[in-house]
Structure 1
């Protein structure tokens, strides 16, 4: 049975006080709140950290040596989570050959994801 939510139980990173939340999958979800309320702690330090940790664990030992391993977040458990990559907000590059993938540094993650899970097709 496919899960239609990401369920986070007992998240305790930084300002989070043992929270439990269900987030719908395959939807655009926005996390809002006051400054210091734990939005980034939930999104990056809990959900992304665990998704990226699982993604890196799924790669070969050879591929793992080139990627940093994130620590397991302070959470009881997370269900329904897929491997994850994130885009941090930062300044733009002035290189005319830069792409969205190179500026956000997501290019290498996408390349590994397609190499691991993609289905090759012959263009001829």
Structure 2
């Protein structure tokens, strides 16, 4: 969840009007799971086009560390894939396990085959 927010003027979202001065709780976990933006948004898909995702924020709230995080991920995943070129997700009956956390959508397990 994002930090506490209050409306400064009436806002209408999906046909519901929220008056000025009302408390609003933003669910960040829903940001990259909009079915109008992402096909099958709840499916773990490493090949999905990630343009438009909000993992590092947006606009003036974009994460200053995003370039470093991307570089670290590129280096780490590059090393893993060079070491295990046959790395694959296991069969669909071994689905990834996700954290039960309202603030972060992260994996607990990701079953893979190394060879």
**TM-score normalised per structure 1:** 0.26
Query: Would you tell me which structure has more helix in proportion to its own residues?
Result: 1
**Higher RCO structure, 1 or 2 (CA under 8 Å, sep 6+):** 1
**TM-score normalised per structure 2:** 0.27
Find the structure with the greater CA-based Rg: 2
